[in-house]
Amino acid sequence: MTLKTILASTALCATLALGAVQAQAAQLVVGFSQIGSESGWRAAETTVTREQAKAHGVTLKFSDAQQKQENQISAIRAFIAQNVDAIFLAPVVATGWDPVLKEAKDANIPVILLDRLIDTQDPSLYLTAVGSDVVHEGNVAGTWLVGAVGTKPCNVVEIQGTVGSSPAIGRKKGFEQAIAGHDNIKIIRSQTGDFVRAKGKEVMESFIKAEDNGKNICAVFAHNDDMVVGAIQAIKEAGLKPGKDILVVSIDGVPDMLKAQMAGEDNASVELTPNMAGPAFDALIAFKEHGTIPPHFIQTKSKLLLPADAQAEYDEKKNLGY
């Protein structure tokens, strides 16, 4: 970050803080532009965000973008027109946000990113971002695979998330960093499944067909659990045993993946908590009531989920709305 952008960000925060403290007495109204419901994790995030809004005494205006950036831009402009106190944005892609976020900035409405980051040269366009370190998530998945296969040759097929999205970019980068230097592990095929279960199954079917009915595949790495659940189905339909004939590793930690672990069909997943909104509301309220400027990135915790703990994890998550 350059000195210029740091000063711009600081100036915006100071301006927003002044207006925020003046408006602190009123109940907060927050507009939330959600990507859609492409996965169980996304549905749980929406549920938890609604619960956290209620718990924090915030009125939440919700907009489902159905995975289209143009819908999110329209929603943000509608929130600005309604003069909400803040906007939460889970961006479907990383680029193309500067003009509409500049409109929010000009309207003195702070924006908080949930789950995903954006590509911008002006960090003052958002107050803070709450999310996991997606590069670290990919690295944890790759590190697990390195330990699982040891020195055994291992051809990996990769099912990527939505092209251009920050999780897809970061998780791929982290995984590749983890397996770098382990020449026995190679990514032989990589294709997007758009974070969707049906597409994950479709992509895995094509991988299996292209790789001697799956005999040339050692492991599948998927950028989310929903795609890997689809991939597991494709492996089974090909007459192979997921988790044994083909190792399975992914990211999110959703209940359906935990059930697959209990069935011996999934080997590892890196948890992505659906509670991004709790820390976001805490930061927003502190900002509004006390002018406290939060760190520009609030990192949530994540952990490696393995079959031994699957039942306990499932019991905790089964009612979250996945």
Predicted confidence at residue 21, as pLDDT, reads: 43
Predicted confidence at residue 26, as pLDDT, reads: 57
Predicted confidence at residue 166, as pLDDT, reads: 83
Predicted confidence at residue 20, as pLDDT, reads: 47
pLDDT tens readout for residues 129-156 = 999 999 999 999 999 999 999 999 999 9
pLDDT tens readout for residues 21-72 = 444 435 899 999 999 987 778 888 999 999 999 999 999 999 999 999 999 9
Predicted confidence at residue 7, as pLDDT, reads: 40
How far is the C-alpha of 180 from the C-alpha of 145, rounded, in Å? 12
Q: Digits of tens for pLDDT over the chain (322 positions)?
A: 333 444 445 445 444 544 444 444 358 999 999 999 877 788 889 999 999 999 999 999 999 999 999 999 999 999 999 999 999 999 999 999 999 999 999 999 999 999 988 999 999 999 999 999 999 999 999 999 999 999 999 999 999 999 998 889 999 999 999 999 999 999 999 999 999 999 999 999 999 999 999 999 999 999 999 999 999 999 999 999 999 999 999 999 999 999 999 999 999 999 998 999 999 999 999 999 999 999 999 998 778 999 999 999 999 888 888 8
pTM for the whole thing? 0.73
Predicted confidence at residue 246, as pLDDT, reads: 98
User: What is the chain's mean pLDDT, rounded?
Assistant: 91
Contact yes or no for 310/262 (Cβ under 8 A): yes
End-to-end CA distance of the chain: 37
